[in-house]
Structure formats: C-alpha cells, structure tokens
C-alpha cells in the first residue's frame, strides 16, 4: 500500500512539472527541445541545444542544427541560420546532409534577393557533389532546377538555362515532368526570339503529354505564336485605358478583341491559375458585365513581372474585386488574364 502511495506521489509530481512548464530532467536534450518547441519557447530551445553544436555525433548534431536553423528562420535571422548550418558542414563536409545544408544556405541567399550569390552556391554544390555518392535528397536535380530558374528569370541567361534544362530532361523519366521542363525550354526560346524552336518544343509537349495540363497549355502557346494579335498596345497605360473603357461600356466584343490570343489565364487570389482560351472567361464576364454599375478603377500596379488593373464593386456575389493582368509579351503589351478576389481574401494578405 505504501509503495503505491509513493508511486502516485512521484507520478503526480511529474504531471505537475509538465503542466506547469517545468522541463522534465529525465528527458534527453533533443526530446526536451522538441517539447519546448511545441510550447513555443524558442529561446529556451536554442539555449538547450547550443552545447550540442559541438557534438561529433552526426545524428545528434544534425537534429540540433535543423531545429536551431528553423528557429532562426522563424525569428528572421538568416545570418545566424546560415552559421548554424555551417557548424555541421565544417565537421562532415562530404556527408549528404552537408550538401542539403549548402542548398538551404543558397535558398537563404535567393530569398534575400542575392540571386548571383545563390547561383554561385548552386554551381558549387553541383561541381563538388561526389559522382559516386548517394543522393538521398535528390539534390542534384533539385539544384539544377533552381539554377535553371535563376538563369532564366533573374540572370536572363536563356541559353544557359536551356543547357541546364536539357540536362534535366535526361534525368526525368516521368512524362509530366519532362513536359514541364520542355515548356520552360520553349519559353526560353521565345524570349530569345527563336519562335520556330519554341513552337517545336510546344509541339513535342502537345504530342507527348496530351492528357496533362501542359499539353493543353502547349497547344494554346502555339496558337498565340501563330496568331495575329488584335489588342496589343505600345504601352501598358494605353492598354489599361482601353480595357477601362470596354468595361465601362459593358462591351464584351471589345474585351474579346483586347484579350491575348491563345493561353488566357484565370485564377482566384491565393489559388492556382487555369489556363485556357478566352472563351471560358468570356462566359464569366458575360454573366456579370451587364450588372456592373459604379465600377471603381484603381491605378496600374506592378505585381511580379506583370501589371494589374484593379476593379472594385465587381457584381459577382462571391468575388467583388477583379484584377486585370497586363504583361509585355512577344508583340507588345497584352491583356493576359484575370484574378478574382474579395474583401476577405484581401485582408489575408
């Protein structure tokens, strides 16, 4: 009876320690850290795990490094996050995890907008990764994708991007993955002004991946490249003014003529875009345009590589805000799509 009472007292004491925020001393540091993480006591986690950064156990060190790295990222301290990753890299430079951490450091630089530095680090990972070493994280292809993206969209080195994309084509057996890469190659050729080469790749995608969204998108890009555009303007302001006038006059025919030929985009704020011909958007606009009274037009705002013209008081009961996407395309400034939104979604930004 006495032993049961002692056990109960000890058990209740442990429960009290846990519920009152005390750290159970019998837990290992990593377990304690995980428990503190769940409670949101991040500074205590760092204090607890910092001694483990001197550990020579790969497993123990990697767990400590990754937890502290995540905390510093959450705290908005990327330099400290990088320094923690380097602790592991310096001790185990040839371990696959070290290459993963080098990749994370490169992504930190990319997130900061240091694209040249990120690209340099991507190159170093590819050049130094041992040929015969296992690649459990699929880093070689992942890094090449990031390299190609940076070359295409930040360095504007389209030939360099095409070279890396071609290497990736040989790595991906999946039809949809190959189609995605070929779409990027075609896009690079477009930007180089090599339209025949671009069409050739789009035709490959349409032929080899007809059952995927990339197949339909490729068909629409071919339509775009082979069409005579009707709504192109020399300036984004001129196009925005024509769109404004067409909406004010509720003229669906004018809107159709102003729409980019081929792939036209439609999406909801914070969701993926659908890519199809303008006729799908035409049905939507035809439904709501007749009731579009007292529309309010904002100014052109830059959003990523595009510009948007915002329209408030749009009569859709679910989406009272409409954005018109305008981009500088192959032929000039074009209306490329719409985004629907509402006040609630805007407040989430």
77: phi then psi, degrees, rounded to nearest 5: -125, 75
Tens-digit pLDDT profile for residues 69-92: 999 999 999 999 999 999 999 999
Q: Are 172 and 181 in contact (CB under 8 A)?
A: yes
Provide the mean pLDDT of the chain: 90
Smallest CA-to-CA distance from 228 within 276, 195, 260, 198 is with 260
**Are the folds of 22-225 and 236-347 the same?**
no
Start-to-end CA span in the chain (Å): 62
Contact 92, 86 (CB under 8 A): no
CATH code given to domain 236-347:
3.10.450.50
Each residue of 235-262: pLDDT tens digit?
999 999 999 999 999 999 999 999 999 9
Residue 46 has pLDDT above 50, yes or no: yes
The residue among 113 and 272 whose pLDDT is bigger is: 113
Kindly list the domain boundaries of the chain, sorted by start residue. 22-225, 236-347
From 242, 269, 267, select the one nearest 334 (Cα to Cα): 242
Q: pLDDT digits over 91-123, tens only?
A: 999 999 999 999 999 999 999 999 999 999 999
pLDDT tens by residue, 209-225 = 988 889 999 999 999 99
* Cβ–Cβ under 8 Å, residues 255 and 231: no
Burial of 327 (0-12, 13-18, 19+ CB in 10 A): middle
pLDDT at 82: 97
Residue 349 pLDDT = 66
Name the CATH superfamily housing domain 22-225: Tetratricopeptide repeat domain (1.25.40.10)
Over its C-alpha atoms, the chain yields an Rg (Å, rounded) of 27
For residues 32 and 17, give the distance between their C-alpha atoms in angstroms, rounded to a whole number: 13
Kindly report the backbone phi and psi dihedral angles of residue 229, in degrees, each rounded to the nearest multiple of 5, phi listed first: -65, 145
Judging by beta carbons within 10 Å of its beta carbon (0-12, 13-18, 19+), is residue 117 exposed, middle or buried? middle
Strands 273-276 and 264-268: antiparallel
């Amino acid at each position: 009876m006495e032993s049961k009472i002692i056990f109960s007292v000890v058990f209740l004491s442990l429960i009290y320690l846990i519920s009152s925020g005390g750290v159970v001393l019998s837990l290992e540091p990593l377990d304690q850290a995980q428990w503190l993480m769940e409670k949101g006591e991040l500074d205590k986690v760092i204090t607890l795990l910092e001694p483990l950064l001197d550990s020579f156990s790969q497993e123990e060190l990697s767990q400590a490094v990754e937890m502290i790295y995540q905390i510093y990222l959450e705290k908005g301290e990327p330099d400290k996050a990088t320094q923690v990753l380097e602790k592991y890299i310096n001790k185990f430079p040839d371990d696959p995890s070290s290459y993963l951490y080098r990749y994370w450091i490169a992504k930190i630089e990319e997130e900061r907008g240091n694209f040249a530095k990120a690209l340099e680090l991507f190159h170093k990972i590819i050049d130094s990764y041992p040929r015969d070493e296992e690649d459990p994280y699929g880093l070689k292809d992942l890094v090449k994708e990031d390299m190609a993206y940076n070359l295409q969209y930040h360095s504007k080195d389209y030939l360099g991007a095409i070279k890396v994309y071609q290497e990736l084509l040989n790595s991906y057996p999946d039809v949809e993955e190959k189609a995605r890469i070929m779409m990027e190659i075609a896009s690079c050729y477009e930007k180089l002004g090599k339209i025949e080469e671009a069409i050739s790749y789009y035709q490959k995608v349409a032929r080899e991946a007809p059952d995927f969204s990339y197949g339909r998108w490729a068909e629409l890009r071919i339509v775009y490249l082979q069409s005579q555009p009707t709504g192109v303007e020399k300036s984004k302001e001129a196009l925005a003014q024509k769109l404004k006038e067409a909406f004010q006059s509720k003229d669906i025919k004018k809107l159709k003529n102003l729409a980019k030929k081929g792939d036209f985009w439609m999406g909801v704020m914070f969701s993926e875009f659908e890519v199809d011909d303008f006729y799908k958007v035409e049905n939507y606009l035809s439904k709501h345009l007749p009731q579009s009274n007292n529309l309010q037009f904002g100014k052109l705002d830059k959003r990523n590589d595009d510009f948007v013209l915002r329209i408030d008081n749009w009569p859709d009961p679910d989406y009272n805000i409409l954005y018109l996407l305008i981009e500088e395309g192959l032929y000039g400034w074009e209306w490329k799509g719409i985004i629907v939104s509402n006040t609630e979604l805007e407040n989430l930004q």
